Amino acid sequence: MTTNNETGFSMTSPETTAYSPQHNVAHWGGVWAMTLCVFALIASEFMPVSLLSPLSRDLAVSEGQAGQGIAISGALAVMTSLLITRIAGNLDRKILLLTLTLLMALSGLMVAMAPNYLTYMTGRALIGVVIGGFWSMSAAVAIRLVPTGQVPRALAIFNGGNALATVIAAPLGSYLGSVIGWRGAFFSLVPVALLALLWQGFTLPSMPVDKARQRSANLLQLLRSPLVTIGLAACGLLFMGQFTLFTYLRPFLETVTQVDVSTLSLVLLTIGVAGFIGTLIVGVVLQRGFYLTLMIIPLIMASVAGLLMVFGHQLWLVAPLLGIWGLVATAAPTGWWAWVARTFPDNAETGGGLMVAIVQLSIALGSTLGGLAFDHAGWQITFAISATLLIAAAGLALITARKESAA
């Protein structure tokens, strides 16, 4: 059933077919090709984290300046996510995805061969454009690649590439940097991006813009709907709560749990592996209880934050608790991207762009709030703030579910 509200965009129930004329055909090869692209994209985004020291020495800048390469990619991601639909216009979405993948390869090449700081920052700006453009379109493309009931699974596969890259990007970058140098580490991403380009070229179907089905809605029109504003607020609070705690997990483990370097690596690996498993199963869970899953995930995360406040000194409890955190927190984005596909079937690109902006801003706000609390009020207050935000996210997810039922 499809309903139109006063904002002029449609909300389609999960049983309704998507707007793509290919909605009865599953292009799983295209899904896996895009997943490889996601892996290369996330690895490119976070590669500088483990290479700041040699990078800054080679380019004769401070580590803080080198770290701005991450900040500029985030800023460009927000800008691109809000503008990509307008800029792309009627361009076939397959061509747009291939162009963004080519830009990713060019970014890696520019950074690897950067003779100076300006070229390095230009390359990092390019990866920001790719991040914003790719993620804002991911839900819309998933709608067009697989049948509607399989969209959560496709998005979970996308996010699996994200989770895998998050697990190995920093340690792989550190290892490659020690073996072939930081330039070689960045250059190693170029052939991966080119492979993703070729794979997508062969497996993605043509995806022309269907003017008759894709409604024109600007951001203000979308935000007039209580369903949209409350849903986005729920998503934003989830990411704020997550990164209020997660950003400062390492100092917590080192100063409170008092782990050594090897144990720290094992705990972080546990989080990453659990997160990868979570992304593999979340699609099935969402199909069985969509909004229930969106509510339970932040409640589990809030419970973990509360238990860490009590048992933070006990490694034998901290490690499995953080494994549970990784299992649900890494899977959470899949649920909210599925919500975009569900809520904006005819405006998934605009809705996806709005979602990317909300997520990026929420991560920035959460990490900033967590840092202030960690420095001035202590780790327990930081974790309490995280738990409070996550409980609020669960409450807003419940209200979102009721708004959709009433629509």
pLDDT by residue (tens digit) across 139-198?
A: 778 878 888 778 878 888 887 787 778 777 766 777 788 788 889 988 988 999 999 999
Token match 């996330």: residue?
Answer: 42
Tell me: pLDDT of 59 over 50. Answer: yes
- 3-class secondary-structure state, position 113: coil
Cβ proximity of 92 and 83 under 8 Å: no
Q: How far apart are CA 219 and CA 269, in angstroms?
A: 39
Structure tokens at 125: 């700006």
CATH number of 219-406: 1.20.1250.20
105-131 tens-digit pLDDT: 999 999 999 999 899 889 988 998 998
Name the strand (E) or helix (H) holding 12.
strand 10-12
Cβ proximity of 216 and 289 under 8 Å: no
Tell me: pLDDT of 289 over 70. Answer: yes
* 3-state SS track over 86-106: HHHCCCCHHHHHHHHHHHHHH
Q: What is the pLDDT of residue 12?
A: 40
Q: What is the pLDDT of residue 210?
A: 63
Report residue 13's pLDDT band, with 50, 70 and 90 as the boundaries: very low
Report residue 80's pLDDT band, with 50, 70 and 90 as the boundaries: confident
Tell me: pLDDT of 9 over 50. Answer: no
Residue type, 374: F
- Tell me how far apart the terminal alpha carbons of the chain are, to the nearest angstrom: 11
Range with the lowest mean pLDDT among 8-12, 25-29, 46-50, 96-100?
8-12
Tell me: pLDDT of 138 over 50. Answer: yes
329-362 tens-digit pLDDT: 988 988 998 898 788 776 777 777 788 888 878 8
Range with the lowest mean pLDDT among 29-38, 316-325, 345-354?
345-354
Structure tokens at 240: 């704020």
Q: What is the pLDDT of residue 63?
A: 64
- 3-class secondary-structure state, position 60: coil
Query: Where along the chain do the CATH 1.20.1250.20 domains lie?
Result: 22-203, 219-406
Report residue 21's pLDDT band, with 50, 70 and 90 as the boundaries: very low
Q: What is the mean pLDDT of the chain?
A: 82
Buried b (16+ CB within 10 A) or exposed e, 36-74: bbbbbbbbbbbbbebbbebbbeebebeeebbebbbebbb
Q: What is the pLDDT of residue 23?
A: 54
Tell me: pLDDT of 299 over 90. Answer: yes
Task: Please give the share of the chain, as a percent, with pLDDT higher than 70.
Answer: 87
Token match 């290479």: residue?
Answer: 51
Q: Which CATH class is domain 22-203?
A: mainly alpha
Report residue 321's pLDDT band, with 50, 70 and 90 as the boundaries: very high
Nearest CA to 191 among 74, 44, 69?
44
Report residue 104's pLDDT band, with 50, 70 and 90 as the boundaries: very high
Backbone angles phi, psi at 204, to 5 degrees: -75, 135
* pTM for the whole structure: 0.75
Q: How far apart are CA 252 and CA 232, in angstroms?
A: 30
Range with the lowest mean pLDDT among 212-216, 256-260, 297-301?
212-216
Cβ proximity of 204 and 146 under 8 Å: no
Report residue 218's pLDDT band, with 50, 70 and 90 as the boundaries: low
Tell me: pLDDT of 384 over 90. Answer: yes
Tell me: pLDDT of 390 over 90. Answer: yes
Q: What is the pLDDT of residue 6?
A: 36
Nearest CA to 129 among 79, 68, 169?
79
185-202 tens-digit pLDDT: 889 889 999 999 999 999
- Kindly give the interhelix angle for 151-187 and 189-203, rounded to the nearest 10 degrees: 150
